Amino acid sequence: MSEVKQFNLPDVGEGLTEAEIVKWHVAPGDQVEINQTIVEIETAKAIVELPCPYEGVVADLLVPEGQTVDVGTPIIAVSVSGGDAAPAAAAPAAEAPKQEAVPAPDEPGMVQPDEPKRQPVLVGYGVKPGATKRRPRKRPAAPAAPAPAPQPNGRPQPVDKRVLAKPPVRKMAKDLGVDLSTIVGTGPAGSITRDDVQAAASRQQAPAAAPQAPAPVLRGEEERIPVRGVRRSTATAMVSSAFTAPHVTEWLQVDMTATMDAVRRLREMPDFAGLKVSPLLLVAKALLVAVRRHPMINSSWVGEGDSAEIVVKPYVNLGIAAATPRGLLVPNIKDAHAKPLPELARALNELVDTARAGKASPADLTGGTITITNIGVFGVDAGTPILTPGEAAILAVGQVRDMPWVHEGELAVRKVATLALSFDHRIIDGELGSKVLRDVGDMLEDPLHMLVWS
């Protein structure tokens, strides 16, 4: 004899009116115990883990990850066996239709969601209105695994797209570059085993050589895409840059292990709470420090022939090349040289988000003085970047990956990345370009150099 009980989003913080479902720890079909953590929610005040009030089997998750719902909304349905898990008063009737239980506005004691004032609380600080959007912490994985959309009939989706695999298997798949979601598992409960991953990896390695029966090729027509917008301006900029400024590209492999440690420690500091701290932040800081030591790298060639001048900028508007749905955009961070590290981190986060959302303003996209392109995010090591027109240098950062490396006289596995610096050879000689690249490399190998040189 089982009964389905719903758990309504509680007010976990004295007068809060809503919360975002950040991450579900359980899925339909899972066995849950009383007080087992089932979900992480984010309120105006905190990220909070909610313990389950019932013992039973999860029947349904009623709100998908990423959605903000009002206090009182049912968020999970648990099928409870037996009758004594919790008194009926604690849950609405099992037959209640699965709709948002918005509190009746005239019900005494209920919090009105649009209460305009700061709410008085018993202990500590009150809640400011409209402050629910605090910081996006612990982003739910990546958009690659979309949260299950609520089904119109309120039933669970039959198959959760989540892949079952043990952590060592996941690691192996990652190392071999195998996408787990493309594999059909042969282990218990459909989980993916080591053998499955290895088989998939070997298929990937020899795709052409595999003498498989050629599948009938469906050929469509050639696609013709009009060159407009960002594509057109990118093309113009690339041509103008490539054929006016003589490019030189230099390369340097650096041991990023210390930088990765520093990144990890920065993440724990309250100054960076809510900010995404990536190795790119320290690369940007290193480049800014290098510019300070070698101002000429942050310059521009203006005019032609006798009237030509080299303009050395006393400020740095740091461009960050971003792949957006519209194409390549290079928004820049104004006065990046003057920003403390947390400010720089915030600017980096916002800049790229804004550009990706297609909301970069013309001011964001012009006036850059030097650029970083993070090609590592595409999983490649290096390239020969083309200068942003009007700038004298661009730094490409390749992926950081485990590589054999001689460290303190011994062979060790270290985090290694390749830097590539392209510069305008009219302005910058090989010596200066090399010094800049070497400086950036030194700072990334030992971030203490940033302190020394900044």
Binding site for other proteins (CB under 8 A): 7-14, 34-35, 45-53, 86-87, 89-90, 121-125, 268-270, 273
Beta carbon of residue 111, minimum distance to other proteins (angstroms, whole number): 11
Q: How far is the CB of 38 from other proteins (least distance, A)?
A: 10
Residues 6+ apart with CB under 8 A from 68: 18, 19, 20, 21, 132
Nearer to other proteins, 270 or 314 (CB): 270
Which residue reads 């040189």 in tokens?
A: 453
Q: How far is the CB of 450 from other proteins (least distance, A)?
A: 21
**What is each CA distance from 100 to 76, 133, 266, 285, in whole angstroms?**
12, 21, 41, 48
Q: Supply the minimum distance, in Å, between the C-beta of residue 90 and other proteins.
A: 6
CA-based angle 275:315:427, to the nearest 5?
120
Rank residues 34 and 235 by Cβ distance to other proteins and give the closer one: 34
The answer to whether the CB of 328 falls within 8 A of the CB of 317 is no
Report the residue number, 81 or 182, with the smaller CB distance to other proteins.
81
CB 427 within 8 A of CB 296: yes
Number of Cβ atoms within 10 Å of the Cβ of 90: 12
Tokens (6 digits) for 170? 């996941």
Q: Min. distance of Cβ 53 from other proteins in angstroms?
A: 4
* Active-site residue flag, 294: no
Q: Which member of 247, 407, 425, 449 is catalytic?
A: 425
Nearer to other proteins, 9 or 200 (CB): 9
CB of 7 or CB of 24, closer to other proteins: 7
Q: In Å, how far are 24, 47, 127, 235 from 37, measured between CA atoms?
A: 9, 13, 25, 52
Q: Which is nearer to other proteins, 11 or 446 (CB)?
A: 11
Minimum distance, C-beta of residue 436 to other proteins, in the bound complex (Å): 33
N-term to C-term CA, the chain:
70
Q: Provide the annotated active-site residues.
A: 425
